[in-house]
Amino acid sequence: MHKTEILRREKIDFSAKIFSQVPEPLAKVYAARGITDERQLGRSLKDLLPDSGLLDIDVAATRVASAVCKAEKIIIVGDFDCDGATSTAVLLLGLRMMGAQAVDYLVPNRFAYGYGLSAEIVEVAAQRQPKLIITVDNGVSSIDGVNRANALGIDVVVTDHHLAGNELPKAIAIVNPNQDACNFAAKSTCGVGVVFYLLIALRRKLQSMQWFAEQGIAQPNLASLLDLVALGTVADVVPLEHNNRTLVYQGLQRIRAGHARPGLKALLEVANRKIENLVASDLGFAVAPRLNAAGRLDDMSIGIECLLCEDEESAREYALTLDQLNIERRTIEQGMQAQALQFLEKVERDLSDSGGQLPMGVCLFDSSWHQGVIGILASRIKDKLHRPVIAFAPGDPGEIKGSARSINGYHLRDGLALIDARHPGLIKKFGGHAMAAGLTIDASALQSFESAFAQVISEQLHADDLKATLLTDGSLQAADMNVELATLFRQAGPWGHHFSEPLFDNVFKIIQQRIVGKKHLKLVLMEPDSGLAIDAIYFNIDENIWPNQEIDKVRVVYKLDVNEFRGKRSVQLMVEHIELAD
């Protein structure tokens, strides 16, 4: 669909003292990511930003502390993705650790109620007679829901990280680093990170009230929740700047040491991941999809109950259920993706014949598509086209719901806000981030919205923005392609969004190539200068291109990794991209 341009990081200064303590390839990687001091790596909880920087944190902690001390009924209203599930579990577990006697949760079913604290969900929550509702990973746009709670005499504390609109809900407190008035430096903190900070402030508040001493409760060790904080942070693909990197690093350390919750351990086991060698990407690609599958196809309560489990047998049963849901989700998604790609190929052929081009922003809709899977579909098509994509599926009668994914350089939520301002009423509701957003429109308005979307994007993006690029850390010497360096790279993370895993590119000769697991290309490559032969794996290849016995010299973009098979460890390349070499 598009050609990928390979760019190399150039002129890397790795003269700082920290770089003398690690091998040169890792020194260059750290330097390219702005690391000049060991503390910047984000390894110690002491280096976390103080919670005092969060607007309304003290107000929120005071109200929640009052609810805990008075044994008031608290309802946590979560979201139906992995960040929402971990946020719900972390807050519920944290409140119980602090002596809360009456705390429960409620997650809206996306098909019945949609996203967030709606007025309808408040009515459902009110049946349990709470005195306090705490939203997690949602709420900053829940104007009607908070108004309804207020009318019913239920206080609301909002914890969220999504971008706020022009109007804020009339809650007791809104803890959200992305409020304009909030000066908290770590704006990329996700929902579960915000919840963790609320618990820190709450513990301090209760301690000042002598609550733990009076109740005979040990002061909670909130670090015991960091395995779930790490999972939610990685799953939400937020930038791993210093603060988030610290939370993820500490969580990974706990998991590797065997201190993960039974549900997380069970999910890792069904995904065939070794806990002692866990890296951040395992959370993102193995655990998060299984949890998300519950919210996409069924009820996220299944995922939350898995995370809350205290015994291994129940956790295993939940994990197996989630694994089966994920298999079902993949089947649905693959069918939708094949359908979308066929449609796009026809559009491209027609445009080519007429001299036209694909619009800078693409909208897709099919009446048979599953509402819970359109986000993944939009992401997959965005990766193939390298342009913003919105996939729509049927919603309530007369409506369609869209899930949008963007590329670097285009802020989706701001774009939707501009469309909303120019065409009042065209979008019924919307929300989200720079890279991901959701919206609802009338089914009859799709063509009008499509035109408005294409117009807004064409004003804000240029043709060069649609060029896919891979930024690498240069080439590796054959002598560096070894298990020791690959292991060091694994341990040097956590790697993630905005702190990318080391990526290299070299020219190789292909010695062997074959398909394994239906869509994966197993390769044996040779580094020409040294004659070193090395294994490589390229997942989800284009079956129209590979295998191809006529191709023998290629430029490969790859990550250095360790393959473990029958107790033997060997180096292997995880291929991100292949193209013909000159």
CA atoms lying within 13 Å on the CB side of residue 406: 21
Give the mean model confidence (pLDDT) for residues 125-154: 96
Q: Where are the domains of the chain?
A: 45-221, 358-466, 470-580
pLDDT bin (cut points 50, 70, 90) of residue 355 is low
What is the CB neighbour count within 10 angstroms for residue 539?
Answer: 12
Among 18-22, 39-43, 418-422, name the most confident range.
Answer: 418-422
Over 90: is that where the pLDDT of 527 sits?
Answer: yes
Instruction: Decide: 535 and 520 in contact? Cβ < 8 Å.
Output: no
CATH architecture designation of domain 470-580: Beta Barrel (2.40)
Give the mean model confidence (pLDDT) for residues 283-309: 91
Residues 546-582 have pLDDT tens digits of: 888 888 899 999 999 998 877 788 999 999 999 988 7
Rounded to whole angstroms, what are the CA distances from 38 to 35, 203, 247, 274? 8, 30, 16, 28
pLDDT at 1: 43
Give the mean model confidence (pLDDT) for residues 171-176: 98
Over 60: is that where the pLDDT of 29 sits?
Answer: yes
Question: For the structural domain made of 358-466, what CATH number should be given?
Answer: 3.10.310.30
Over 70: is that where the pLDDT of 502 sits?
Answer: yes
List of residues 6+ apart from 480 with CB closer than 8 A: 23, 25
Residue 108: cis peptide before it, omega within 30 degrees of 0: no
Residues 59-96 have pLDDT tens digits of: 999 999 999 999 999 999 998 889 999 999 999 999 99
Angle between helices 226-235 and 288-297 (to 10 degrees): 70
pLDDT at 12: 79
Tokens describing residue 514: 């074959």
pLDDT at 452: 94
Same fold: 45-221 with 470-580: no
Share of the chain above pLDDT 90, in %: 67
Q: Mean pLDDT score of the chain, rounded to an integer?
A: 91
Over 50: is that where the pLDDT of 249 sits?
Answer: yes
What is the distance between the alpha carbons of residues 389 and 403, in angstroms, rounded to a whole number? 8
What is the distance between the alpha carbons of residues 326 and 266, in angstroms, rounded to a whole number? 15
Which of 267 and 16 is assigned the larger pLDDT?
A: 267
* Number of helices (H), then strands (E), in the chain: 18, 17
Over 70: is that where the pLDDT of 48 sits?
Answer: yes
Over 60: is that where the pLDDT of 2 sits?
Answer: no
Classify burial at 223, counting beta carbons within 10 Å of its beta carbon; exposed 0-12, middle 13-18, buried 19 or more: middle
Residue 547: cis peptide before it, omega within 30 degrees of 0: yes
Over 50: is that where the pLDDT of 420 sits?
Answer: yes
The pTM of this model reads: 0.89
Over 80: is that where the pLDDT of 397 sits?
Answer: yes
CATH architecture designation of domain 45-221: Alpha-Beta Complex (3.90)
Which of 58 and 112 is assigned the larger pLDDT?
A: 58
Length of the chain: 582
